[in-house]
Chains A and B, each alone.
Chain A
């Protein structure tokens, strides 16, 4: 589904070159639920934005669903984002000027879907996240957990094959985080591929597979002593 080989990403400013990712290799199979962990600044978000075609990369190869994406133009990338990928951001990123219904509708409209089908999908998605009764509410009138569920509904409504989540529970309390996680697990059971960045070891443990990133590279957990020490601390707590 998602395959990166020897991929690198360099941020150049006038003074420094930062390697956000270097010789980065990952292979996420169709239907997998992968949790991505790693220290702050290690390159998790960078990986996710490249995976989601929000940004280009500097070197290496990236195949998404069998397509080499570095060859695609801006319009083709937009189309893939719209049809194959669902995004869930830490900051929810709902559009404050639009109510819940209109927010969920945004990607469907860019797909050029007919109004009747849009309505069907929006109500289904809101039903799934338990917010059908809030369709006319504006984001500011909802709690953080509710907003994130709307964001998930928005990501789901287009039935994407790949769901990318960057710390989806980072701004939520434990209770709400659990609700969101259960929702993601349910979506995964229905066949979606999910890649989720998280700082929460408990949530990471619930994924099928964990990928750890340090200094812009995927490291094998078994050979990384720091990870064992970290886990030990969590266990003690």
Chain B
């Protein structure tokens, strides 16, 4: 045995041919089963949607409920299209979208508020969490207040924010920041506390100073938890943005949902609700995807 041999444990024992064929077949059967499972699952979920739409359509069609309360699926679709296009209301005037904005502009406006409020929390949250996890007295001093802030429903203090920052975007941005900040800080603290001691020791015995331990070991170790925190915070902030737009929320998808309801444009309200839900799912998927890109080792090491 010499040092330069290729590592013995890297050479897998090659199975005999029929054995190999067997295991290939097993593998392909497995893939097939997985694919079938996925097709069947999606099929099942789609049929629920179909049944739901059919029942909805039937109820609306038979006018069991006043269409003011429950417009038909078709009416909701029409409201959706109409809110994203222009229409002539007289010989000389055309109207575009709803409440002077296309629906996608309402959506973008809400997402912009998210980007500012949550974006700042994404920058400051990990910093604060990092400091709190590493500076003992800071954590002792601040932890109860952080937990207090986290347990407050943000909509409980929107009134105060409006008094302080006005009814427009500033108060909404603050609300989103305050909603997203605590979960990110707490996730960061947990992530930093969960770093394996030996990981830090290994770095120290390789000559790392405190700063290098922080940036090269603790931060990447805590990253999966930080990203999980950002995901939770984003979902939470989205539920808040929609509600925060009850006040001066135009443009804003939550504002549109609320205003259209008040004006008895029920079909548009339902269209807004569906868009709000789909946007939440898309946001979550986006963060999950970015997380997988940033932390490819998660669950593997």
Partners in one complex: no
Which residues of A are interface residues toward B (Cβ below 8 A)?
A: none
Which residues of B are interface residues toward A (Cβ below 8 A)?
A: none
